[in-house]
Structures are given as C-alpha cells and as structure tokens.
Amino acid sequence: MNFSEKNECLNCGASLTTDFCGNCGQKKAQRISISLLLKIMQQGIIEFKSPFLVTFLGLFTNPGRVYREYLDGRRATYFNPIRYSFWLITIALFVAAYFQTSIINLDTFIKETNTKSIPVSALELEDILSSSVIYITFIHAFVCALFLKLFFRKEKYSISEWYIPCLLNFSQIFIVAIGLIFIGYYGSIKGQIFYSVCSTLYFIWGLSHLFEKRTWLTYLKVFAAGVSSFILFSMVFGILVFFTLGVKEGFNTEHTSEIEKPATTLPIQN
C-alpha cells in the first residue's frame, strides 16, 4: 500500500486536508520504517508528555492546577478522568488481592482475640465494601460535589464540574494505599490512621488550590464540605448495607429453619 497517495484517514475514513485528521486526530499514516519503529517505542515507553503520565505526576505535584486546567478546557493534555480513576482503583484492588489484603479492612478495628468472636455481619460487610470500592468511590465523589457546590455557590463550577476534581482526588489517594500494602502496614491501625490523615490533607490541599485566589475561609469550606459529604454518604450507605445484611440474614435463618424442620410421619393404615 502506498500511504502517500491516500487522501483519507485510514483510521476513520474522513478526508484529509492536513497531516492530521480533523475527525479523529490521527496523523497521516506512513509505512513503518526503522526510524518510525524506534519513535513508536520511545513514545510508548518513555514519553513523558503522555496524558496519563502528565495527569499522574500533576496530581502529585499540583492537583489544583490539574483540576483547574481540565475544567477550563485544557482536555487533551490530561487523561480521561473517569478512565484514570477506574484504572487506578482497579490496580489498587489487584495489588490488595495479590497481597491477600482487603482495601476496606474492618478487622483492624475489631479486637483480635479470636476469629470466631468477629460477628458474621462484620465479615459480610467487609466483603460487600471491598467488592464495591469502585462504586463507593464514584458515588462518594458525586455526594462530595453536591456539598462543594453548596459551600461554593457563587463559584462558576457546576455539580458535574465539581465531580471531576472530587473523583480524581479520591482515586489518586489510592496510591498511598498501594504503598502501604507493599510495605505491609495497610492492615494495621497505624497504617489506617496514616492513610486517613493523608486522604484528609490531600483533599483540602487539592480542592483548595483549585482556586488561584484563596483564603483561610477557602480551606475551611473545603474541609467542611468533605466532612459533611463523608458523614452523609456513610450514613446512607451504612443504612442500605445493614438493611441488606438484615434481610439476607433473616432469609437465611428462615430457610435454615425450614430445612431443619422434622418431617411429619403419616400414620400407617392397615
């Protein structure tokens, strides 16, 4: 195939008027030579300007700027925030599973006397929460966006726009969880306290720096929005989970009693 004679994009079929497709953004295709192969390898391995790496490093060094630039229209520079959050949380779950650790470990806060002393409902609750971490994070981010919009009513951002920095903030902190899992401290009380402190400070720092002009009141309102969203979300989610466990336990008890009920014997007629 002679790529130079092609006047349409070989990725989406749109007509080409420049070296880049105006429909999908792909550069005009050319034969893969040695030099192009090396360039592709370099871009795939050590491309420091890739959207994923720019987002990853930016959320460590200056998360407020990442939030602000993405919301203000600089989208191609950064990775898709929904996909980024999903992948990062998924990686954390894989790491936790590999090291046989639960992302939400209730055993840390239960007196470790005997495994049998831990209530069954607590173990079931841990399984439900651990398997629902992605959903919990995505929903909690929405609740937090509601409170941020409430506390910052005069700002230009809508609830859906507030949702993006909340989700990126909640997912980025999973890096701390991954690090604690690697060194074996995530399941300890000290590890959980350290993780909670890091989460709180990172949330206040990141969301407050979304504003280029900020005062002590900005930090206070961000903190209040975070605490309010956490309390409301925990209450509603906790009620739903315990209601589900109660219904499940009642069903299991009733089902077990039906199985164990002795069968009535009919009188033998001569």
Question: Which residues touch 237 (CB under 8 Å, ≥6 apart)?
Answer: 136, 139
Residue 117: the pLDDT is 45
- Using the CB atoms, write b or e for 252-264: b if 16+ within 10 Å: eeeeeeeeeeeee
- Model confidence at 111, pLDDT cuts 50, 70, 90, reads very low
232, containing H or E segment: helix 216-260
Portion of the chain with pLDDT greater than 70, in percent: 73
DSSP state for residue 21 in the 8-state scheme: -
* Residue 106 or residue 13, greater confidence: 13
- Model confidence at 109, pLDDT cuts 50, 70, 90, reads very low
Q: Any idea where the domains of the chain sit in the sequence? A: 1-31, 46-245
Q: Which of 148-152, 192-196, 262-266 has the lowest mean pLDDT?
A: 262-266
Compute the average pLDDT of residues 128-154: 89
Compute the average pLDDT of residues 15-39: 78
Tell whether the model's pLDDT for residue 114 goes beyond 70.
no
Query: Cβ distance 175 to 193 under 8 Å?
Result: no
* Residue 125 or residue 147, greater confidence: 147
Q: Which of 86, 89, 79, 90 is nearest to 56 (CA)?
A: 79
CA 52 – CA 27 distance, rounded (Å): 20
Prediction pTM value? 0.74
Query: Which of 13-17, 53-57, 105-109, 166-170 has the highest mean predicted lDDT (pLDDT)?
Result: 166-170
**What secondary structure, in 3-state letters, does 36-87 show?**
HHHHHHHHHHHCCCCHHHHHHHHHHHCHHHHHHHHHCCCCCCCCCHHHHHHH
Compute the average pLDDT of residues 57-75: 94
- pLDDT tens-digit series, residues 169-195: 999 999 999 999 999 998 888 998 999
Compute the average pLDDT of residues 211-232: 94
**Average pLDDT across the chain, whole number:** 81
Tokens of 201: 């400070």
Tell whether the model's pLDDT for residue 263 goes beyond 70.
no
- pLDDT tens-digit series, residues 201-210: 999 999 999 9
Compute the average pLDDT of residues 215-227: 95
Tell whether the model's pLDDT for residue 4 goes beyond 80.
no
Compute the average pLDDT of residues 153-182: 95
Tell whether the model's pLDDT for residue 44 goes beyond 70.
no
CA 251 – CA 78 distance, rounded (Å): 49
C-alpha radius of gyration, the chain, whole number: 26
Greatest CA span in the chain, whole angstroms? 100
Tell whether the model's pLDDT for residue 8 goes beyond 80.
yes
CA 182 – CA 54 distance, rounded (Å): 24
Residue 6: the pLDDT is 75
- Model confidence at 251, pLDDT cuts 50, 70, 90, reads very low
Tokens of 77: 């520079």
